[in-house]
Amino acid sequence: MKHIVSVLTLIGCSLVSSNLVGQAQTPGTMLGISLDLSGTLTVSSESPGGCPTRICTTNFETFSHCYTNCYWRLVCTTNATTGQVQCTNALVCSVHCYTNTFPEISCTNEFLTPTSVKVGEALSGSLAANSPCDELDGLFPSNAVFQAVLYATLRTNDWRGTHLGSFKVLDGTNVLASGTLTGVNGVGSHRELEACAICNHIEGTLRGLVVESGPLRGARIQASYAGTLTGVSCPSAEVPQGAVSLAIDGVVVTPCPLLFGF
């Protein structure tokens, strides 16, 4: 009896899997995508943010230049013995120098008391399908890697701010999907369930395309993502980074066939 139940279970799973593959091949089908990302967020660059103040200084510069003028001049001498006058052309040179003093203005943009920072970040981690919510089981293999480059502007008192960037999903060196990310840092969006500002929280919207070969090639991905920098305690003295856990949930829309008019 146990063997029969096991066989029936395998057949059922096979039918469900076949049904999902069939759905994925139907143009215009919407399927749920639900992934768990476990990885690391690292800060690659950091610079002052906000609006700079233009500061100009004046210095007096002194410039000196000399030039030489040479010209031919008739030079005559008188012989003391014979009283004969002899004239020749001689090259005569004179040196002239002048000095100018003038003001020179130099200007720089200074962040006098910055209250925010601009941060470059790199996000990398492994993906795992969240069953049973993920209807695309098998779209990304078990060794798929999520990589993203983010640019964030964060205020320094609680690291609340915004970010945007790009992502790609890789199987080795093969790109499976790519797109953009845009969202917020340090913002609690569940009202009474969490604080207004949580320095180790990140969430936003992911948009992209499936580019790997197969029935889903060209399918549009739109999903929300939310997660936590698990090793960061708030408040934090530094820009939050380190181990991160993200949940990605949304929809994949398979492309419609190209239509040609006559």
pLDDT at 21: 41
* Mean per-residue pLDDT over the chain, rounded: 85
pLDDT at 1: 44
pLDDT at 124: 97
Higher pLDDT, 256 or 144: 144
Average pLDDT rounded to a whole number, residues 110-134: 92
The domains spanning 28-50+114-253 and 54-108 adopt the same CATH topology: no
Q: How confident is the model at residue 39 (pLDDT cuts 50, 70, 90)?
A: very high
CATH of domain 54-108: 3.30.2460.10
Nearest to 198 by CA among 190, 208, 207, 206: 190
- Residue ranges of domains in the chain: 28-50+114-253, 54-108
User: Could you report the per-residue pLDDT of 140-196, keeping only the tens digit for each?
Assistant: 898 999 999 999 999 999 999 999 999 999 999 999 999 999 999 998 777 666 777
> Does CATH place domain 28-50+114-253 in 2.40.350?
yes
Give the dihedral of Cα atoms 203, 209, 212, 214; nearest 10 deg. Answer: 120
Question: pLDDT at residue 20 above 60?
Answer: no
Q: Which ranges of the chain would DSSP assign to H, the alpha helix?
A: 2-25
Average pLDDT rounded to a whole number, residues 132-145: 87
Does the pTM of the predicted model rise above 0.75? Answer: no
Q: How confident is the model at residue 261 (pLDDT cuts 50, 70, 90)?
A: low
User: Could you report the per-residue pLDDT of 1-12, keeping only the tens digit for each?
Assistant: 444 434 333 334
pLDDT at 259: 65
- Contacts for 86 with CB less than 8 Å, ≥ 6 apart: 76, 77, 78, 79
- Contacts for 124 with CB less than 8 Å, ≥ 6 apart: 39, 40, 145, 146, 147, 148
User: Could you report the per-residue pLDDT of 231-241, keeping only the tens digit for each?
Assistant: 999 999 999 99
